[in-house]
Homo-oligomer: A and B are copies of this chain.
Protein backbone atom coordinates (compact mmCIF):
# COMPACT_ATOMS: atom_id res chain seq x y z
CA UNK A 1 0.00 0.00 0.00
CA UNK A 2 1.40 3.34 -1.05
CA UNK A 3 0.08 6.50 0.46
CA UNK A 4 -0.44 9.00 -2.37
CA UNK A 5 -0.02 12.63 -1.51
CA UNK A 6 -2.90 14.49 -3.08
CA UNK A 7 -4.47 17.84 -2.44
CA UNK A 8 -8.20 18.26 -2.75
CA UNK A 9 -9.14 20.01 -6.00
CA UNK A 10 -11.09 23.27 -5.81
CA UNK A 11 -14.77 22.86 -6.56
CA UNK A 12 -16.26 25.53 -8.79
CA UNK A 13 -19.97 25.74 -9.60
CA UNK A 14 -20.25 28.92 -11.66
CA UNK A 15 -18.91 29.88 -15.07
CA UNK A 16 -17.65 33.24 -13.79
CA UNK A 17 -15.65 31.65 -10.97
CA UNK A 18 -14.23 28.98 -13.30
CA UNK A 19 -13.07 31.64 -15.75
CA UNK A 20 -11.54 33.69 -12.94
CA UNK A 21 -9.56 30.69 -11.66
CA UNK A 22 -8.27 29.68 -15.08
CA UNK A 23 -7.31 33.26 -15.91
CA UNK A 24 -5.54 33.53 -12.53
CA UNK A 25 -3.55 30.40 -13.35
CA UNK A 26 -2.60 31.73 -16.79
CA UNK A 27 -1.45 35.05 -15.35
CA UNK A 28 0.64 33.34 -12.69
CA UNK A 29 2.11 30.68 -14.96
CA UNK A 30 2.99 33.09 -17.77
CA UNK A 31 3.33 32.41 -21.49
CA UNK A 32 4.07 28.69 -21.06
CA UNK A 33 0.80 28.09 -19.19
CA UNK A 34 -1.13 25.07 -20.48
CA UNK A 35 -4.63 24.08 -19.46
CA UNK A 36 -6.08 20.61 -19.97
CA UNK A 37 -9.81 19.84 -19.83
CA UNK A 38 -11.35 16.46 -19.09
CA UNK A 39 -15.10 16.73 -19.80
CA UNK A 40 -17.14 14.01 -18.08
CA UNK A 41 -20.61 13.20 -16.82
CA UNK A 42 -19.19 12.08 -13.48
CA UNK A 43 -19.51 8.72 -11.71
CA UNK A 44 -15.83 8.48 -12.48
CA UNK A 45 -13.93 5.29 -13.08
CA UNK A 46 -10.37 4.40 -13.97
CA UNK A 47 -11.01 5.40 -17.59
CA UNK A 48 -11.69 8.99 -16.52
CA UNK A 49 -8.76 8.85 -14.12
CA UNK A 50 -6.46 7.88 -17.01
CA UNK A 51 -7.59 11.00 -18.91
CA UNK A 52 -6.88 13.22 -15.89
CA UNK A 53 -3.47 11.65 -15.33
CA UNK A 54 -2.58 12.21 -18.97
CA UNK A 55 -3.76 15.83 -18.74
CA UNK A 56 -1.84 16.41 -15.51
CA UNK A 57 1.30 15.12 -17.21
CA UNK A 58 0.79 17.41 -20.24
CA UNK A 59 -0.51 20.62 -18.62
CA UNK A 60 0.11 22.90 -15.67
CA UNK A 61 -3.60 23.03 -14.84
CA UNK A 62 -6.10 20.22 -15.27
CA UNK A 63 -9.80 21.04 -15.15
CA UNK A 64 -12.27 18.21 -14.70
CA UNK A 65 -15.85 19.03 -15.63
CA UNK A 66 -18.71 16.94 -14.29
CA UNK A 67 -22.01 17.70 -15.94
CA UNK A 68 -24.79 15.29 -16.84
CA UNK A 69 -25.93 17.14 -19.96
CA UNK A 70 -29.70 16.82 -20.46
CA UNK A 71 -29.35 17.93 -24.09
CA UNK A 72 -27.62 14.70 -25.13
CA UNK A 73 -30.18 12.32 -23.62
CA UNK A 74 -33.20 11.19 -25.58
CA UNK A 75 -36.69 11.33 -24.02
CA UNK A 76 -36.59 7.60 -23.20
CA UNK A 77 -32.98 7.47 -22.06
CA UNK A 78 -31.48 7.41 -18.58
CA UNK A 79 -30.92 11.13 -17.81
CA UNK A 80 -32.83 11.02 -14.52
CA UNK A 81 -31.35 7.75 -13.33
CA UNK A 82 -27.82 8.37 -14.67
CA UNK A 83 -25.59 7.44 -11.71
CA UNK A 84 -24.15 10.30 -9.64
CA UNK A 85 -21.67 10.23 -6.73
CA UNK A 86 -20.08 13.62 -6.15
CA UNK A 87 -18.06 12.71 -3.06
CA UNK A 88 -16.43 9.71 -4.68
CA UNK A 89 -15.82 11.68 -7.90
CA UNK A 90 -13.90 14.32 -5.96
CA UNK A 91 -11.67 11.66 -4.40
CA UNK A 92 -10.93 10.18 -7.83
CA UNK A 93 -10.20 13.67 -9.20
CA UNK A 94 -7.81 14.42 -6.34
CA UNK A 95 -5.95 11.16 -6.78
CA UNK A 96 -5.67 11.63 -10.57
CA UNK A 97 -4.28 15.16 -10.35
CA UNK A 98 -7.17 17.46 -11.33
CA UNK A 99 -6.79 20.85 -9.66
CA UNK A 100 -10.17 22.34 -10.58
CA UNK A 101 -13.49 20.55 -10.68
CA UNK A 102 -16.25 22.35 -12.56
CA UNK A 103 -19.61 21.12 -11.27
CA UNK A 104 -22.31 23.38 -12.70
CA UNK A 105 -26.04 22.97 -12.19
CA UNK A 106 -28.21 22.63 -15.28
CA UNK A 107 -29.44 26.21 -14.69
CA UNK A 108 -25.88 27.52 -14.84
CA UNK A 109 -25.20 25.85 -18.19
CA UNK A 110 -28.65 26.48 -19.67
CA UNK A 111 -30.17 29.54 -17.92
CA UNK A 112 -32.73 29.61 -20.75
CA UNK A 113 -33.46 26.91 -23.32
CA UNK A 114 -30.71 27.40 -25.92
CA UNK A 115 -31.81 28.80 -29.30
CA UNK A 116 -28.56 27.72 -30.94
CA UNK A 117 -28.39 24.19 -32.29
CA UNK A 118 -25.36 22.44 -33.75
CA UNK A 119 -25.63 19.51 -36.11
CA UNK A 120 -22.80 17.48 -37.59
CA UNK A 121 -23.69 15.61 -40.75
CA UNK A 122 -21.93 12.70 -42.46
CA UNK A 123 -20.54 11.06 -39.32
CA UNK A 124 -23.51 11.09 -36.95
CA UNK A 125 -26.02 9.03 -38.93
CA UNK A 126 -24.48 5.64 -38.12
CA UNK A 127 -23.33 3.80 -34.97
CA UNK A 128 -24.67 5.47 -31.82
CA UNK A 129 -26.04 8.39 -33.84
CA UNK A 130 -28.53 6.05 -35.53
CA UNK A 131 -30.00 4.68 -32.31
CA UNK A 132 -29.69 7.96 -30.37
CA UNK A 133 -31.10 10.71 -32.64
CA UNK A 134 -30.03 14.19 -31.50
CA UNK A 135 -27.44 12.73 -29.12
CA UNK A 136 -24.43 14.19 -30.92
CA UNK A 137 -26.16 17.55 -31.41
CA UNK A 138 -26.35 17.75 -27.62
CA UNK A 139 -22.75 16.61 -27.25
CA UNK A 140 -21.64 19.26 -29.76
CA UNK A 141 -23.33 22.09 -27.87
CA UNK A 142 -22.10 21.11 -24.42
CA UNK A 143 -18.53 20.41 -25.51
CA UNK A 144 -18.42 23.73 -27.38
CA UNK A 145 -19.76 25.51 -24.29
CA UNK A 146 -17.16 23.82 -22.07
CA UNK A 147 -14.37 24.73 -24.51
CA UNK A 148 -15.55 28.36 -24.53
CA UNK A 149 -15.85 28.46 -20.74
CA UNK A 150 -12.54 26.78 -19.86
CA UNK A 151 -10.59 27.79 -23.00
CA UNK A 152 -8.25 24.81 -22.59
CA UNK A 153 -5.18 24.18 -24.72
CA UNK A 154 -6.01 20.47 -24.83
CA UNK A 155 -9.09 18.37 -24.16
CA UNK A 156 -9.00 14.65 -23.37
CA UNK A 157 -11.55 12.11 -24.57
CA UNK A 158 -11.66 8.35 -24.20
CA UNK A 159 -11.78 6.25 -27.36
CA UNK A 160 -14.49 4.06 -25.92
CA UNK A 161 -16.79 6.69 -27.41
CA UNK A 162 -14.84 6.63 -30.67
CA UNK A 163 -17.66 8.25 -32.63
CA UNK A 164 -17.86 11.04 -30.05
CA UNK A 165 -14.14 11.68 -30.49
CA UNK A 166 -14.61 11.83 -34.29
CA UNK A 167 -17.59 14.19 -33.96
CA UNK A 168 -15.83 16.51 -31.52
CA UNK A 169 -12.69 16.56 -33.69
CA UNK A 170 -14.84 17.43 -36.71
CA UNK A 171 -16.54 20.32 -34.89
CA UNK A 172 -13.18 21.60 -33.68
CA UNK A 173 -11.83 21.46 -37.22
CA UNK A 174 -14.94 22.91 -38.91
CA UNK A 175 -15.23 25.80 -36.45
CA UNK A 176 -11.48 26.36 -35.85
CA UNK A 177 -11.92 25.90 -32.12
CA UNK A 178 -8.51 26.66 -30.58
CA UNK A 179 -8.09 23.38 -28.70
CA UNK A 180 -6.18 20.17 -29.34
CA UNK A 181 -8.29 17.02 -29.02
CA UNK A 182 -6.31 14.21 -27.37
CA UNK A 183 -7.91 10.76 -27.88
CA UNK A 184 -6.96 8.29 -25.15
CA UNK A 185 -7.07 4.47 -25.11
CA UNK A 186 -9.97 2.46 -23.68
CA UNK A 187 -9.38 1.28 -20.11
CA UNK A 188 -10.64 -2.22 -19.25
CA UNK A 189 -11.26 -4.38 -16.21
CA UNK A 190 -8.73 -7.19 -15.86
CA UNK A 191 -11.26 -9.57 -17.44
CA UNK A 192 -11.62 -7.29 -20.50
CA UNK A 193 -14.88 -5.43 -19.81
CA UNK A 194 -14.50 -1.84 -21.01
CA UNK A 195 -15.01 0.58 -18.12
CA UNK A 196 -18.28 2.50 -18.22
CA UNK A 197 -20.32 4.40 -15.68
CA UNK A 198 -23.25 2.32 -16.87
CA UNK A 199 -21.59 -0.98 -15.85
CA UNK A 200 -23.12 -0.53 -12.38
CA UNK A 201 -26.50 -1.29 -13.91
CA UNK A 202 -25.42 -4.82 -14.92
CA UNK A 203 -26.77 -7.83 -13.01
CA UNK A 204 -24.12 -10.51 -12.33
CA UNK A 205 -25.24 -12.76 -15.17
CA UNK A 206 -25.40 -9.83 -17.61
CA UNK A 207 -21.92 -8.70 -16.59
CA UNK A 208 -20.58 -12.24 -17.17
CA UNK A 209 -22.08 -12.45 -20.64
CA UNK A 210 -20.98 -8.89 -21.50
CA UNK A 211 -17.39 -10.17 -21.61
CA UNK A 212 -18.26 -11.44 -25.08
CA UNK A 213 -17.80 -7.87 -26.40
CA UNK A 214 -14.12 -7.53 -25.60
CA UNK A 215 -13.50 -11.20 -26.41
CA UNK A 216 -15.02 -10.72 -29.86
CA UNK A 217 -13.14 -7.48 -30.51
CA UNK A 218 -9.85 -9.17 -29.57
CA UNK A 219 -10.40 -11.60 -32.44
CA UNK A 220 -10.84 -8.86 -35.05
CA UNK A 221 -7.12 -8.56 -35.97
CA UNK A 222 -6.91 -12.32 -36.61
CA UNK A 223 -10.06 -12.29 -38.76
CA UNK A 224 -8.61 -9.40 -40.78
CA UNK A 225 -5.33 -11.30 -41.21
CA UNK A 226 -7.31 -14.27 -42.50
CA UNK A 227 -8.68 -12.07 -45.30
CA UNK A 228 -12.18 -11.13 -44.13
CA UNK A 229 -14.00 -8.47 -46.14
CA UNK A 230 -16.19 -6.01 -44.13
CA UNK A 231 -19.40 -8.04 -44.51
CA UNK A 232 -17.74 -11.24 -43.39
CA UNK A 233 -16.02 -9.56 -40.47
CA UNK A 234 -19.33 -8.12 -39.27
CA UNK A 235 -21.03 -11.53 -39.63
CA UNK A 236 -18.34 -13.22 -37.56
CA UNK A 237 -18.54 -10.54 -34.88
CA UNK A 238 -22.34 -10.68 -34.74
CA UNK A 239 -22.35 -14.49 -34.59
CA UNK A 240 -19.82 -14.51 -31.75
CA UNK A 241 -21.86 -12.00 -29.74
CA UNK A 242 -25.17 -13.71 -30.47
CA UNK A 243 -23.95 -16.86 -28.74
CA UNK A 244 -24.75 -15.09 -25.48
CA UNK A 245 -28.48 -15.52 -24.80
CA UNK A 246 -28.81 -12.16 -22.98
CA UNK A 247 -27.09 -10.18 -25.77
CA UNK A 248 -29.41 -8.04 -27.87
CA UNK A 249 -27.36 -6.48 -30.65
CA UNK A 250 -27.98 -2.81 -31.48
CA UNK A 251 -25.20 -2.61 -34.07
CA UNK A 252 -22.03 -4.35 -35.21
CA UNK A 253 -20.16 -2.03 -37.54
CA UNK A 254 -16.86 -1.78 -39.38
CA UNK A 255 -15.97 1.70 -40.68
CA UNK A 256 -12.97 3.82 -41.62
CA UNK A 257 -11.84 6.18 -38.89
CA UNK A 258 -12.35 9.04 -38.27
CA UNK A 259 -14.35 9.45 -41.52
CA UNK A 260 -16.82 6.71 -40.48
CA UNK A 261 -17.29 5.57 -44.07
CA UNK A 262 -18.07 1.97 -45.06
CA UNK A 263 -15.01 0.39 -46.69
CA UNK A 264 -15.57 -1.50 -49.95
CA UNK A 265 -16.92 -4.99 -49.41
CA UNK A 266 -15.16 -6.15 -52.59
CA UNK A 267 -11.70 -6.39 -51.03
CA UNK A 268 -10.24 -7.99 -47.91
CA UNK A 269 -9.79 -5.46 -45.12
CA UNK A 270 -6.12 -6.35 -44.77
CA UNK A 271 -5.53 -4.35 -48.01
CA UNK A 272 -7.16 -1.21 -46.58
CA UNK A 273 -4.71 1.64 -46.04
CA UNK A 274 -6.86 3.59 -43.59
CA UNK A 275 -7.61 3.37 -39.90
CA UNK A 276 -10.46 1.01 -39.20
CA UNK A 277 -13.00 1.04 -36.38
CA UNK A 278 -14.78 -2.18 -35.43
CA UNK A 279 -17.53 -1.14 -33.05
CA UNK A 280 -20.43 -2.80 -31.26
CA UNK A 281 -23.41 -1.70 -29.21
CA UNK A 282 -25.25 -4.46 -27.38
CA UNK A 283 -27.98 -4.45 -24.77
CA UNK A 284 -27.75 -6.80 -21.79
CA UNK A 285 -31.05 -6.52 -20.00
CA UNK A 286 -31.83 -2.81 -19.70
CA UNK A 287 -28.19 -1.77 -20.09
CA UNK A 288 -26.76 -0.76 -23.44
CA UNK A 289 -22.98 -1.24 -23.64
CA UNK A 290 -20.60 -0.08 -26.35
CA UNK A 291 -17.08 -1.22 -27.12
CA UNK A 292 -14.69 -1.01 -30.07
CA UNK A 293 -11.25 -1.62 -31.42
CA UNK A 294 -9.39 0.89 -33.58
CA UNK A 295 -6.66 -0.50 -35.78
CA UNK A 296 -4.65 0.00 -38.91
CA UNK A 297 -5.20 -3.09 -41.08
CA UNK A 298 -1.73 -2.87 -42.62
CA UNK A 299 -0.26 -3.23 -39.14
CA UNK A 300 -2.18 -6.32 -37.99
CA UNK A 301 -0.48 -8.59 -40.49
A interface, CB within 8 angstroms of B: 15, 19, 27, 31, 114-123, 140-141, 144-145, 148-149, 151, 170-171, 174-178
A227 to B116, alpha carbons, bound, how many Å? 36
A117 touching B119, Cβ below 8 Å: yes
| Residues of chain B within 8 A of A122, CB atoms compared | 115
Query: CB distance B15 to A170 under 8 Å?
Result: no
**Measured CA separation A19–B120 after assembly (Å):** 26
- Residues of B near A176 (CB, < 8 A) are 15, 145, 148-149
**Across the two chains, which residue of chain B brings its CB closest to A23?**
B31
Q: Identify which of B115, B149, B151 contacts A174 (C-beta below 8 A).
A: B115
Contact check, A118 vs B117: say whether CB atoms are below 8 A apart.
yes
- A116 to B174 Cα, complex, angstroms: 6
Q: How far is the CA of A19 from the CA of B178 in the complex (A)?
A: 10
Q: Which residues of B contact A149 (CB under 8 A)?
A: 176, 178
The residue from B15, B115, B117, B120 contacting A115, defined by CB atoms under 8 A apart: B120
Which B residues lie within 8 Å of A123 (CB)? 115
Q: Which of B141, B148, B174 contacts A177 (CB 8 A)?
A: B148
Given contacts A27-B31, A31-B27, contact A178 B148 (CB under 8 A): yes
CA distance A176 to B149 in the complex (A): 6
Q: What 13 additional pairs, Cβ within 8 angstroms, besides A19-B178, A115-B170, A148-B175?
A: A15-B176, A27-B31, A114-B174, A115-B121, A115-B123, A116-B118, A116-B140, A116-B170, A119-B119, A145-B176, A148-B177, A149-B178, A151-B178
